[in-house]
Structure 1
């Protein structure tokens, strides 16, 4: 069980074959790293499930592979335009979660090598179009962990700055706590080799698609997080929701 959705494994993933599972989107919600909150938001689960399905289907229509298999209604897997009622269950492909080995100093990612297949890439990949008050970017700039050049800026930003180009950020996925990464370290621990550049291009495309769709209804796409897997054929796929 996750903090906001529950996973049921129908078939476990293997070294060379994807598994199958279902996500049950709940009305629970979490806040940053504080975890699950004590109350619930009515119909949040179904709403998030349907929005996720909409974008998964849109990404696939535009040639971006995902792990999405469809929505579950009445025990049957359906596309979004086939359901009769709002649902909160989604069927997906599952991939191996290979944990890095924890050492006295840091983590050992030597298992993640170019050519590895059917695994969850151990990164969270974030696009940032906007810098709101409280963004971690300000703290990292002050600490010297980020440079203005990396953000595509010439002067120190103020809260509310809209970036001319999205800033692509990386953090760990499978460590005890999230840790921001340089591009070089993200590429090294991902195991993707030359496919890493493809991952960056995919998240830029996803950002553009979400911005295109949300701007039509007056919503500003400030930032977002994606996760990726490499499937059994070696293709990058967008996963989670």
Structure 2
């Protein structure tokens, strides 16, 4: 299980062929790379599955290759993956999203190989040669490709670059710093970061090219820009601003395909009427209300440098507090109401998004 999704294998991938499997989206959540947090957010898993499927189907309409196969209808209607009509075969019934009779929590996907990434200690680092030797020409690319249309409050780009790096000198403060409000970028920015290392690490293009293996870094960037364009257009049509996001990719048969899940309130940051609609609202809650844990996480991540272990959580002496019930409810409704608006279908019986965001503001 990942921190928020369970992973089911129906047919394993091999060195020569992709397999078949499913993501099962849970209501768990993770912030600051902690892993599963102490409570759950109702509707969250179904919201992410529904938004992800909606975006994958729009990407496929645009000719963008993905690993998506459909969703599992919660009521069992549709055609099973083994070809039977009633879903009574070895694999559950899979349908396009618009044929689902309720918000789905399972997504059918193509599988690729995910080799181990050995950690060889602070001097040698991670052994990507071993990863690619095991993956051959059929593997999940060990990178996250990040795209940014805006620099919102909380964006890591504020720590790593100055407004002048993007020709935004006019909006910079006296010392060249970012202003307190979100800033639109003149052109989307694409960056690369690690995926399987214990701490996400932003990379130079040369580093990303080496870590990508047989996959071409230019093709990865082009694919990310195409995905960003589609998600941005879908967001605008629904009244959202698409601020930033990421993709992950598999490489199989000499082709890149978009993998994992795309364009959800966990993977991407959106705003609606000037207010954030994403997991960022939970991050900001912890920064404001559980700063001791947030500081302990930051210190543990720094302390692991130069050690033989790479899991910083072993060094973290504090654990996160659960969210108050009122915050859980407000965030739950935000996910569900946002999904309704984004997809143009009333999947969830919740207040409208304006009411939902007002409730988040009050928490």
Deviation at 1:102, TM superposition (A): 2.1
Q: Deviations over 1:40-80 (max 9, x none)?
A: 22222112111111111111111111111111121311111
Deviation at 1:141, TM superposition (A): 2.9
Q: Counterpart in 2 of 1:214?
A: 235
Q: Distance in 2 between matches of 1:39 and 1:102?
A: 31
Deviation at 1:154, TM superposition (A): 5.0
Q: Which has the higher contact order (CA 8 A, sep 6+)?
A: 1
Q: Counterpart in 1 of 2:109?
A: 92
- Secondary structure at the residue paired with 1:102? coil
Q: Counterpart in 1 of 2:126?
A: 107
User: Does the 8 Å CA contact 2:145/2:220 hold for their aligned counterparts?
Assistant: no
Give the alignment's TM-score, normalised by structure 2.
Answer: 0.60
More strand, by proportion: 1
Q: Counterpart in 2 of 1:200?
A: 221
- Secondary structure at the residue paired with 1:33? coil
Q: Distance in 1 between matches of 2:196 and 2:28?
A: 23
Deviation at 1:180, TM superposition (A): 1.0
Q: Distance in 2 between matches of 1:100 and 1:240?
A: 18
- Secondary structure at the residue paired with 2:198? coil
Number of aligned residue pairs: 232
Q: Distance in 1 between matches of 2:160 and 2:259?
A: 28
Q: Distance in 2 between matches of 1:86 and 1:177?
A: 33
Q: Counterpart in 2 of 1:121?
A: 141
- Secondary structure at the residue paired with 1:46? helix
Q: Deviations over 1:130-154 (max 9, x none)?
A: 1122322222237xxxx954xx335
- Secondary structure at the residue paired with 2:240? coil
Q: Distance in 1 between matches of 2:136 and 2:8?
A: 25
Moved over 4 A (4+): none
Q: Counterpart in 2 of 1:153?
A: 167
Pick aligned residue for 2:250 from 226, 229, 233 = 229
Q: Distance in 2 between matches of 1:93 and 1:4?
A: 19
CA 11–148 in structure 1, closer or farther in 2 if over 3 Å, else same: farther
Q: Distance in 2 between matches of 1:110 and 1:88?
A: 36
Q: Distance in 1 between matches of 2:168 and 2:136?
A: 40
Deviation at 1:186, TM superposition (A): 0.3
1:174 aligns with 2:196: yes
Q: Counterpart in 1 of 2:156?
A: 136
Pick aligned residue for 2:186 from 164, 168, 173 = 164
1:189 aligns with 2:211: yes
Q: Counterpart in 2 of 1:240?
A: 260
What residue ranges of structure 1 are gaps of 5+ in the alignment?
none
What residue ranges of structure 2 are gaps of 5+ in the alignment?
77-91, 170-175, 262-363
CA RMSD in angstroms comes to 2.0
- Secondary structure at the residue paired with 2:10? strand
**Who wins on radius of gyration, i.e. which is larger?**
2
